[in-house]
Amino acid sequence: MTLLDSLPADLRLDRSRHAAPQVFEKLRDLIMSLELAPGTVLSRGELADAFGLSQTPIRDALSQLRDEGLVDIFPQHTTAVSRIDIAAARQAHFLRRSLELEIVHQLASQADAALIDRLQAHIDVQRANLGPERYQRFIAADQAFHREMHDAAGVGHLWELEQRHSGHVDRLRRLHLPEAGKADRILRDHQRIVNAIAAQDVAGAQQALREHLSGTLSQVDEICRRYPDYVVPA
């Protein structure tokens, strides 16, 4: 299979925006969804043809992906989607857990019925998108749930910081999602977090969050066994 075979047919860009950021966004989405799997070679020429662009914005987008650890660029040789670095995934998990434990502490310390309604709405969207054919919508709603908490705590900019470091751990979670019962556990965890916040149960909210975020990394050895070509063991 060639790179062009791995790309969606419709890669149209918004001509009112700069091209490089859009190429970055589209390629990042494809990498995070594993449609561009670890190890996939990314030819600048083929990407330029697919997007209908010169190689300059392609190069800029690939450089940004490299900065997030999502591609490896070997000068004068090749560029490829990076393998999932388990050590980097653990560090990103540590960062997110540390921040979100403080976030749920803050949210559970104050009553905000409107926030509870918004968080519940994200859970409802997830529930409506269970099943392999809807994984991307399920994941988008999952991300929206966690971003909602960041915004409510007044630290929305930290979500962007976390995302720049989340490529390895989020791809690891994507590999784990098809496991039987995993999506249902995510829903239950989210509901426990919301219920604890609504009850102003700080300790309960933090415990529910801690267990929620630890699910994938607790299974990392099994994930590595199943996908040895996709990962770099710690």
- 52-79 pLDDT per residue, tens: 999 999 999 999 999 999 999 998 789 9
Closest CA to 25 of 83, 73, 68, 89: 68
- Is 55 in the same domain as 122? no
- Is 94 in the same domain as 207? yes
DSSP letter string, 90-140: HHHHHHHHHHHHHHHHHHHTS--HHHHHHHHHHHHHHHTT-SGGGHHHHHH
| Residue finishing a domain among 82, 109, 143 | 82
Number of domains forming the structure of the chain:
2
The tokens for 141 are 């709603």
Q: What is the pLDDT of residue 23?
A: 95
Q: What share of the chain has pLDDT > 70, as a percent? A: 97
Q: What is the pLDDT of residue 150?
A: 98
CB neighbourhood size of 164 (10 A): 12
CATH assignment at residue 191: 1.20.120.530
- Is 73 in the same domain as 135? no
- 100-129 pLDDT per residue, tens: 999 999 999 998 999 999 999 999 999 999
Q: What is the pLDDT of residue 2?
A: 60
Confidence category of residue 190, pLDDT binned at 50, 70, 90: very high
CATH assignment at residue 61: 1.10.10.10
E strand segments, the chain: 71-74, 78-81, 84-85, 231-232
Q: What is the pLDDT of residue 16?
A: 86
- Is 91 in the same domain as 197? yes
- Is 77 in the same domain as 89? no
- Is 91 in the same domain as 181? yes
Confidence category of residue 4, pLDDT binned at 50, 70, 90: low
Closest CA to 189 of 81, 75, 104: 104
Q: What is the mean pLDDT of residues 178-197?
A: 96
- Is 78 in the same domain as 105? no
Give the 3-state secondary structure of residue 72: strand
Q: Residue 74: beta bridge partners?
A: 78
- Is 97 in the same domain as 207? yes
* Average confidence score pLDDT of the chain: 93
- Is 71 in the same domain as 93? no
- Is 112 in the same domain as 171? yes
| Residue finishing a domain among 33, 53, 82 | 82
**Is residue 85 pLDDT above 80, yes or no?**
yes
- Is 54 in the same domain as 24? yes
- Is 58 in the same domain as 134? no
Contacts of 1 (CB under 8 A, 6+ apart): none
**Is residue 1 pLDDT above 60, yes or no?**
no
Distance CA 124, CA 116 (A): 12
Distance CA 72, CA 19 (A): 21
Residue 139 lies in domain: 85-232
- 121-160 pLDDT per residue, tens: 999 999 999 988 899 999 999 999 999 999 999 999 999 9
Distance CA 5, CA 189 (A): 37
| Residue finishing a domain among 43, 62, 82 | 82
